[in-house]
Amino acid sequence: MEHLNLPAPRAAKIKSGEIVAPPIDDATDKELAVKLAMLVKASPDQLKEFITADNLMGKDPTFAASGQLSPDAPKFDPIQLTPDEAMDYLSAEPGNDFNFHTDDYAKLKAAKKKVKEDKDAPGVAALVSAEILKQRFQAYRQAGIGAVAPYDRGDGKFSEPGDEMLGAMQASPILKNSAPEAYAAFCDFPGNPAPGAIHQFFWSQQKVEDKPAFILSHRMTYPMKNGIVYLDRQYFVSRTYNSMITGSGCGQLAEGTIVYYVNRTSTDQVAGFMQETKHNIGRKQMREELIKMFEEIKKKVAKG
């Protein structure tokens, strides 16, 4: 409760059973940040089957495909695209529609030349997309967020997702203060390994704003005395938003177990013109969805 830095009235609301969404500062003008906390009248052990990484971070029903990645032999299949979706990717150019590096755009352009008929496009797009994802995964495994390639926005402009993710971590003092070993292990990955930390790597294809997006993520689970911390970093997203970091977990209090969640999503779409309005709308939508997730967890715990 101390690390959540809540004023007394909000702390009292949590202890009374309310789901509270305290104010949280965005790390940059590109970021949407949301924080939630609630108290459940149960011990961490009693919550184990409900407080999992999938439950706290949400298991997105829009996934078309997904899988855990082996460091030695990562596989990205089955990538599923319609001919129109495949041609959309193969025709990608630097700008704001996609999140590729200059070299990625060159690979897509070269692959497009192999398409003789519309029916060929999904297979060609799947192969070149898997190549791009594999290269990015291997670079991240070797050197962490410092190796995340920038997004080419055209006209010599780039977005730097690695810098954005580092800023998001530095703007999250809850973890740094309450679990410094976990903070260092996740922030500096693959450096500063923490004993007991479990690292997993995933890829997924899902619909984002009704368009297929490929996502690479790194999840770290860190058990603590009377609690657990989950951290998840989407370090590559092929379109729409730039990156996402979520932190969640639970810890025991005298009154029960506090469950918390922090989400920091970076996107070029909320920067610039009408910035404040875009931030307010985006944050409200995120908060509403997350509150639903917390309410579902409370219902499951009550039934259990």
Helix (H, G, I), strand (E, B) or coil at 290: helix
Per-residue pLDDT tens over the stretch 176-197: 887 889 999 999 999 999 999 9
Report whether pLDDT(293) > 70.
yes
Q: Among 51, 2, 58, which Cα is nearest to 229's?
A: 51
Reading the block at residue 77, the tokens are 């299949």
Q: What is the pTM of this model?
A: 0.89
Residue 275 pLDDT: 44
- The 10 Å Cβ neighbour count of residue 196 is 12
Q: Give the confidence band of 89 by pLDDT, cuts at 50, 70, 90.
A: very high
Tell me how far apart the alpha carbons of residues 189 and 207 are, in angstroms, rounded to a whole number.
28
- Of the listed ranges 48-57, 196-205, 284-293, the least confidently predicted one is 48-57
- As a dihedral over the C-alpha atoms of residue 260, residue 165, residue 288, residue 304, rounded to 10 degrees, the angle is -40
**Amino acid symbol at 218:** H
Residue 139: burial class (beta carbons within 10 Å; 0-12, 13-18, 19+): middle
Q: How many CA atoms lie within 13 A of 87 on its CB side?
A: 9
Per-residue pLDDT tens over the stretch 45-64: 877 777 776 666 555 555 67
Average pLDDT for 208-233? 90
Residue 81 pLDDT: 96
Burial annotation 267-286 (CB, 10 A radius, 16+ → b, else e)? bbebeeeeeeebbeebbeeb
More confident residue, 38 or 49: 38
Reading the block at residue 70, the tokens are 């082996």
